[in-house]
Amino acid sequence: MRKKIKLRPLILFGLLFTAVVFFLNFYMENRLKPVLKTYAEAKSLSFATLAINDAVCGFLEQENLAYTDLTMIEYGENGTISNIKTDIVALNQLKARLSNVIVSEMENLSRSEIKIPLGTLLGGEVFYGKGPDIRVKLVPVGGVRTDISNKFTAAGINQTRHQILFTVSASVYIVLPSETIERTVESEFFLAETVIVGQIPDVYVN
């Protein structure tokens, strides 16, 4: 009888401990995990986008490109624009250099971590920014894909704006404690532009 009486508190404690563990696991899977995934994804994509923007904007500011560095406009006998030529060699060189700068900046992401306080995920002003940190890693994958394109839009009466665009697409792994998510970050930049006065030429050489 004495042994049964002594074992009873241990059994109750074991049942209580099991119930607490089950509840915490249920809460983590159904409440905390989706919040962590959403928050980490938004934070990580913002972090990666900022890295790409800093790399490209810093490069363009240093290079100080002009429209005439990438194109050449030819005029006809009556003074109207006959065609626009893109310097494909200059564009390819620019694309390669920009890609190298972006890859270098993206590689730095693999050496950094995003820390999310547990209290922030729980919600409420009382717990915000408090508690142990949940660490999230960003790992660049698949390299960086870049593309250069042209855009013509109306800019007024008998005027057309020609813009040369640079598009970046990079894939990253968002490494969470329980899973890994792959996402793509995309950004678009203006390399150069000009306003063409008069009729758009029939010939555009790229």
- Residue 13 tokens read as 């404690």
Walk along the chain (206 residues) and give the pLDDT tens digit of each residue.
Answer: 544 455 566 666 555 555 554 454 544 555 667 777 787 888 888 888 998 999 999 999 888 888 888 888 777 777 677 777 888 888 899 999 999 999 888 888 776 777 777 766 666 665 566 667 777 777 877 678 889 888 888 877 777 888 899 999 988 888 877 778 888 889 999 888 888 776 655 544 45
pTM, full prediction: 0.70
- Residue 93 tokens read as 């060189």
Q: Give how far Cα 98 sits from Cα of 2, 53, 72, 180, 187, Å.
A: 79, 11, 22, 28, 13
Taking the C-alpha atoms of residue 106 and residue 20, their distance in angstroms, rounded to an integer, is 42
Q: Give how far Cα 188 sits from Cα of 17, 48, 62, 100, Å.
A: 54, 14, 18, 17
105 neighbors 54 (Cβ within 8 angstroms): yes
Q: What is the DSSP code string of 61-97?
A: HHH---GGGTEEEEE-TTSSEEEEEE-HHHHHHHHHH
- Residue 124 tokens read as 């409420």
